[in-house]
Amino acid sequence: MKKLVVDTNVFLRFLTNDIPKQAVRVEKRFKEAEKGKLQLIVLQITVVELLFQLQHWYDLNKSQAVEKLIRLFSPAWLEIDYKDAVFEALNRYKNSTIDFVDLLIWAISRKNKLAVLSFDKDFDKLEPKLRLNP
C-alpha cells in the first residue's frame, strides 16, 4: 500500500473548498484511503499549522477550528502519531488560554510518562503537573 504524508494545503482545500477543483481531487484521495488503497499520514506539525491557518487566515474561532479538526482527523484511515494525545490537546485547547503546542507537548509527555523541561508556567496549570524547571 502506498503511504503518503499529507500537507496542510490539502486539508485546507478540503475544509474550505476555496479552490473547488483541488477540493474534488482531495476528496478522491480520501475515498481511496477509506477503501484501503492509500495510507495517509498526518504529521503533528501539520495539525499545528492547520489550526493556526484556520484561526488566523480563515477567521474561525478556537471552538470552530477544533471541531473541524476533530471531525477531519477522526477516521481511522488518517494516521497521526499519538492521535489520542492530539485529540486531547485539541479538546483542552477549546477552553484554554494555553497555547496548542504546549498542550500537545504536555499530552504526549503524559502519555509517555515523561516530564517537560520548561520555563513556561502554563504547564503548571495542567494535571498532572509534568513541568520541571531547567
Contact between residue 8 and residue 49 where contact means Cβ atoms under 8 Å apart: yes
Q: How many domains does the chain have?
A: 2
Predicted confidence band at 132 (pLDDT cuts at 50, 70, 90)? very high
C-alpha cell belonging to residue 102? 504546549
Q: What is the pLDDT of residues 36-90, one digit of tens each?
A: 999 999 999 999 999 999 999 999 999 999 999 999 999 999 999 999 999 999 9
Written as one string, the DSSP assignment of 6-62 is PPHHHHHHHHH-SSHHHHHHHHHHHHHHHTTSEEEEE-HHHHHHHHHHHHHTS---H
pTM, whole model, 2 decimals?
0.92
Domain hosting 70: range is: 1-81
What's the pLDDT at 37?
96
C-alpha cell belonging to residue 18? 476555496
Same-domain pairing of 72 and 131 = no
**Helix 20-34 vs helix 8-16: crossing angle, to nearest 10:** 110
What's the pLDDT at 101?
98
Question: Which of 37, 60, 81 is at the close of a domain?
Answer: 81
Same-domain pairing of 96 and 68 = no
Same-domain pairing of 54 and 94 = no
Q: What is the pLDDT of residues 75-130, one digit of tens each?
A: 999 999 999 999 999 999 999 999 999 999 999 999 999 999 999 999 999 999 99
CATH at residue 46: 3.40.50.1010
How far, in Å, CA of 57 to CA of 7, rounded?
A: 17
